[in-house]
Amino acid sequence: MSGEKIIFPKGRQIVLGVTGGIAAYKACDLLRRLQDAGFLIRVIPTQSSLNFVGRATWEALSGQPALSTVWENPAEVSHLAAADNADLIVIAPATADTIAKLTQGRADDLLTTTVLASSAPVLIVPAMHPNMWLNSATVQNIELLRSRGFIVMEPEVGRLSGKDFGVGRFPESSKIVAQVLEISKTELLLEGKKVLVTAGGTREEIDPVRFIGNKSSGRQGLAIAYQALRSGAEVTVIAGHTDPFELEGARVIKVNTALEMMSAVENEFINSDALVMAAAVADARPVSTSTTKIKKADLESIELTTNPDILSRVALSKRVNQVIVGFAAETLDDLIKAGGEKLIGKKADLLYVNDVSGGAIFGQDQTSGALIGLGIETVNFDGVSKHEVAKSIVAHMAKKLEKVNG
Ligand code: CTP
């Protein structure tokens, strides 16, 4: 395990893209109103927008760096470019030029790169001169963006900069916030659901200094707990040994051994809608734990016994309206086949089969594997972030829950 502290951003996140129009100053108020609505805002101003509102204003208001290009802070940018943490991207104001760039899938600054790299919904709030808004190029660009799933607000009619009047005005902040709340509501896939997640590895004590354990860092399980929280679920984490972490909003029960984890899972499962068994449970434990340090000459004679299979045991008590997601760690060539056997054998509804060849994924933020389940199309992941896998698991789990709850 890497041992590094796992930091989860607090609150729901919005990337606010500000592009170069006079309405950029109105985005300052929008930022404040979005904060009032409980969102954490990260501003990405385009270079030309900085002619209207400077970087210092955005950084002071948001309390976060406001970068414009991918070259300003490459380490920070690569993290942001993955845009893992954005629940929503809002581009306000969006100029005709930025809209045109988005239709082409350009990525020549940080904002367009982030949009292209993110799977979050994008809300576009255009503001421009009526002639530009009504120009057939813009009209077609907007149609194209809408057909690709972008949400585009209609600009308002009214006074524009200078003496002009017409369609193209930036809407009131309250209208944009209302739209943001509407979009984020549809993202709350697990609202009202109770999700139980196990994470990390168990340790089976041999004596006061030794234990049987494994390399699990808990990162995958914790990423699932985080994504479930972001999807509106009430989340309980049963954590074995993990890298240090803080996960605001989740109830955390710490356990040490497989038997402790089993009793915690059995207690909690009854009151849960879904269980994600991401923990790496040690398969065996010493028959007895010595209270004194065992001499090395005697280590060979330690007698082991296998631990109960927690997943299989709780699956026996599963109600029809509950969903269980299992995991499998495999080094085999035929991952899907091996995973399929565990899915059926352990009676899970879904199973993420991890490719752990060479121990490569432990303590890392990246993973490779496949999500399988009866009645779902297998989803393959190759070197993606654990959050991406977590989002997919949460989405599939939500669908299953919807199905079994009618
Ligand atoms: N699991 C469990 N209890 C155990 C061992 C594993 O609940 N005693 C769960 C894990 O949390 C995971 C799934 O079973 O969701 C598969 O774990 P894995 O280690 O891949 O498989 P094992 O059943 O331990 O089989 P093997 O090690 O022989 O591959």
**How much is the average pLDDT of 111-128?**
93
User: Residue 405: which pLDDT band, with cuts at 50, 70 and 90?
Assistant: very high
Q: Which residues are catalytic?
A: 214
- Looking at the predicted structure, is the pLDDT value of residue 2 above 70? no
Q: Give the pLDDT mean for 169-181.
A: 96
Question: Candidates 261, 332, 336, 342: which one to mutate for ligand 1, based on the most atoms within 8 Å of Cβ?
Answer: 342
Q: Please state, in angstroms and rounded to a whole number, the distance separating the CA atoms of residues 227 and 276.
A: 12
Q: How far is it, in rounded angstroms, from Cα 63 to Cα 61?
A: 6
The atom of ligand 1 lying closest to the CA of 327 is 15
Both tokens assigned to 146: 């809408």
Cβ atoms within 10 Å of 378's Cβ, excluding its own: 13
Index of the ligand 1 atom closest to the CA of residue 311: 7
Residue 378, pLDDT score: 96
Classify each residue of 277-290 as buried b or exposed e, where b means 16 or more C-beta atoms within 10 Å of its C-beta.
bbbbbbeebbeeee
In ligand 1, which atom is closest to the CA atom of 329? 20
Instruction: Tell me what the pLDDT averaged over the chain comes to.
Output: 92
User: Cα–Cα distance between 76 and 73 in angstroms, integer?
Assistant: 6
Nearest CA to ligand 1 atom 4: 309
Tell whether the model's pLDDT for residue 245 goes beyond 50. yes
Q: Could you report how far apart the first and last alpha carbons of the chain are, in Å?
A: 41
Output the CA 373–ligand 1 centroid distance in Å: 17
Pocket test for ligand 1, best of 255, 259, 262, 327 (most atoms within 8 A of CB): 327
Q: What is the mean pLDDT of residues 242-258?
A: 96
> How do residues 74-119 score in pLDDT, each as one tens digit?
776 655 544 667 889 999 999 999 999 999 999 999 999 999 988 8
* Atom of ligand 1 at shortest range from CA of 265: 7
Q: Which domains are delineated in the chain?
A: 8-185 (3.40.50.1950), 194-404 (3.40.50.10300)
Residues contacting ligand 1 via CB (< 6 Å): 258, 277, 279, 281, 283, 307, 309-311, 326-329, 342, 346
Which residue owns the Cα nearest ligand 1 atom 23? 309
pLDDT digits (tens, 9 = 90+) for 30-39: 999 999 988 9
Tell me which of 72 and 121 has the higher pLDDT. 121
